[in-house]
Amino acid sequence: MNIGFIGLGAMGAPMAGHLLQAGHAVSVWSRRGASADFLLSRGAARCASPAAVAAASEIVCTNVTGSADVEALADELAPGFAPGAIHVDFSTIAPSAARRIAARYATRGVDFVDAPVSGGSGGAQAATLAIMWGGKSALAIRLQPIFEVLGKTIVHVGETGAGQVAKACNQMVMVAAIEAAAEAARLADAAGIDFSKVRAAMMRGSAGSRVLEVFGGRMATREFAAGVEARLHHKDYALLLDEATRLGVPLPVSAAVGQQLNALMGQGWGQDDTSSLLRVLESAGQRGPAP
């Protein structure tokens, strides 16, 4: 297939690389030209603009930061799309933004698919992402050759915007678990007990989880350098809390976690790992430093 890819960061670059390796013709564009060099060396074609990527592709994939970024890209891509083309967005954005983009594209005969992913940069590199997508079910046949190259779990959740709702639910549970791990670490420390030993016991019990393994491990070793930048989880929480407000859905635990993420950002740790939620607790005047 002729596939376009825009958004060649920690997630997008390996995803585009997998598509190249699978034999697809991949056209790319990037605001920072150097970010595409690795893919160009493997056979990707550089385009001069997003519209040129759209003109060269039957499906264009994007993976950028937020709603405004995707909406701006959609405006730039639209003139290049031929009727029948598909824009697949792997970013995490507001469900309402996904629906707006889909409505604008519909007037051109172009389909929009919101397909946020879970698994982080490690999952992108290993092609083991969980892909939750929203859009017309009839598009599944055309999307399968892309999705099967990038992920292990592929779920069509519903119509446009449904993928973003699923991602919001995913982030809600995951980051709440990171906060819970941070609180467990803080309690263990206050009691004078080594959290690494507490965590080892928990991993064998009913609290064992991927979050406790990865983020709890970073707390135990105090390795707060970015694995997952906390600013991205902060952005995701703003989106899900906004959606909850729009729908009138009470989310008391998520609201509290959102405030902890606000505090983390206020401390200037947004580019550090989300395990820094432990440092937020430590900086609240309790025993123990927050270096």
Tens digits of residue pLDDT in 136-177:
999 999 999 999 999 999 999 999 999 999 999 999 999 999
CA 23 to chain centre: 25
- Interatomic CA distance for residues 235 and 110, integer angstroms: 28
Segments making up each domain of the chain, as ranges: 2-159, 166-282
Strand segments (E) across 13-127: 25-29, 45-46, 59-62, 86-89, 111-114, 117-118
Task: Tell me the average pLDDT across 281-289.
Answer: 71
**128, 138, 151, 268 from 135: Cα distances, Å:** 22, 9, 18, 37
Is the separation of the CB atoms in 95 and 164 below 8 Å?
yes
Residue 289 confidence (pLDDT) above 50: no
Q: What is the pLDDT of residues 99-112, one digit of tens each?
A: 999 999 999 999 99
The answer to whether the pTM exceeds 0.75 is yes
Phi, psi of 6 (to 5 degrees): -130, 130
- Average pLDDT over the chain reads 95
What's domain 2-159's superfamily in CATH? Answer: NAD(P)-binding Rossmann-like Domain (3.40.50.720)
Residue 284 has pLDDT above 60, yes or no: yes
- Return the closest-CA partner of residue 275 out of 156, 184, 164: 184
Closest CA to 86 of 74, 97, 95, 76: 74
Known active-site residue 136: no
Q: Would you state the pLDDT for residue 286? A: 54
Detail the DSSP E strand segments found in 95-236.
Answer: 111-114, 117-118, 129-134, 151-158
The CATH classification number of 166-282 equals: 1.10.1040.10
Please give the Cα distance from 121 to 255 (Å, whole number): 27
Of 136, 152, 167, 235, the active-site residue reads 167
Q: Could you say which DSSP state residue 127 is in?
A: T
Q: Residue range 72-81: average pLDDT?
A: 97
CA distance 50 to 110: 15
